[in-house]
Amino acid sequence: MMDSSSAGVGETDIAIVGMAAHLPGAPDIATYWANLRAGVESIIPLSRDELLSRGEAPLRIHHPDYVPAAAILENFEHFDADFFGFSPKEAAILDPQHRQFLEVAWEALENAGHPPETFKGAIGVYAGCGMGSYFYFNLCSHRDLVENTGMFLLRHTGNDKDFLSTRVSHILDLRGPSVNVQTACSTSLVAVHYAAQALLNGECDMALAGGVTIELPHGRGYIFKEGEILSPDGHCHAFDHRAQGTVFGSGAGCVVLRRARDAIRDGDHIWAILKGSAVNNDGAAKAGYLAPSVEGQAACVAEALAIADVPAATVDYVECHGTGTYLGDPIEVAAL
């Protein structure tokens, strides 16, 4: 935690004053940190009985290239509807991704010590979510529900990417900008970037930023196919000689951001200072649409360092995409 002095803190520095996360093997940030320190792998092998209980087809389990492994988000279907003012039916219609992000948004504000009703200033939301599979797999298959509620309300009640952030703003009565961000794997980081820009531009005085994705159907394995991104052994060996692919997971995370000088003035607990960030695109200068680019990543890192006014030699730790693929990991290293 930083002391009450703002010495050395720049006008453009952003403080992370609150955090929350629901992740495989970790229902909160304390457990997640303990898992990281202990090197706990949260991708787990699944038995045949477990797979069958989750609705996996017996023939699929016996496929020669079936990988019985998953990163399971425990209790993702649980939701305190009363707390957020939903009726049982409204809660059942709401995509679990929207439910989970509502929960981590509130928990992050609690962690920051800033319940919305006591914060003097506008609070913004910048967030994104994964594909709305719940709508297709769990709602559209219920003919009576579709006929009685209607497709328009089913979608707009909370089953579309467009309504993730504004749902949070509505339920928590937040009056700052509420913007959905969708940039695939980088969504949450890009949400943090734009939330920081909004704070620096004076569009809000505090901002929630993050994302959520839940794989549905949940807790099942997958078919390995040569040349694709998925791992053949159910492990993600990022930056390792055994790297062969990744395993998709599920989770939700949110941070609370403030201008650093404001956070210090108000005595907030400061988890970290964001000195600078940058966003760009590779354009067409790469092997294919799904491939990363050395030049694009290098340019983005260089711009972020320049904005932060931080010499590269002082960087002690780098967090990467780390997909554990033959293509992705070497490109990230080369860019750095």
pLDDT at 190 over 90: yes
Residue 328 — very low, low, confident or very high, per pLDDT cuts 50/70/90? confident
pLDDT digits (tens, 9 = 90+) for 81-104: 999 999 998 998 999 999 999 999
pLDDT at 27 over 80: yes
Q: What pLDDT does 290 receive?
A: 84
Q: What pLDDT does 47 receive?
A: 97
> Which of residues 25 and 326 earns the better pLDDT score?
25
Q: What letter represents residue 144's amino acid? A: D
> Which of residues 12 and 135 earns the better pLDDT score?
12
Of the listed ranges 28-37, 234-243, 284-293, the least confidently predicted one is 284-293
Q: Are 42 and 26 in contact (CB under 8 A)?
A: yes
Mean pLDDT of the chain: 93
pLDDT at 241 over 60: yes
pLDDT digits (tens, 9 = 90+) for 113-126: 999 999 999 999 99
pLDDT digits (tens, 9 = 90+) for 129-153: 999 888 888 888 888 888 888 888 8
Q: What pLDDT does 6 receive?
A: 65
pLDDT at 4 over 60: no
Q: What is the mean pLDDT of residues 28-44?
A: 97
pLDDT at 263 over 60: yes
Q: What pLDDT does 265 receive?
A: 96
pLDDT digits (tens, 9 = 90+) for 61-79: 999 999 999 999 999 999 9
Separation of alpha carbons 88 and 80, rounded Å: 10
Q: What is the mean pLDDT of residues 170-192?
A: 97
Of the listed ranges 3-7, 113-117, 166-170, the least confidently predicted one is 3-7
> Which of residues 141 and 265 earns the better pLDDT score?
265
Q: What pLDDT does 163 receive?
A: 93
> Which of residues 322 and 72 earns the better pLDDT score?
72
Q: What pLDDT does 158 receive?
A: 83
Q: What pLDDT does 141 receive?
A: 84
pLDDT at 80 over 70: yes
Q: What pLDDT does 7 receive?
A: 63
Q: What is the mean pLDDT of residues 217-229?
A: 93
Residue whose structure tokens are 């951001």 = 257
Residue 110 — very low, low, confident or very high, per pLDDT cuts 50/70/90? very high
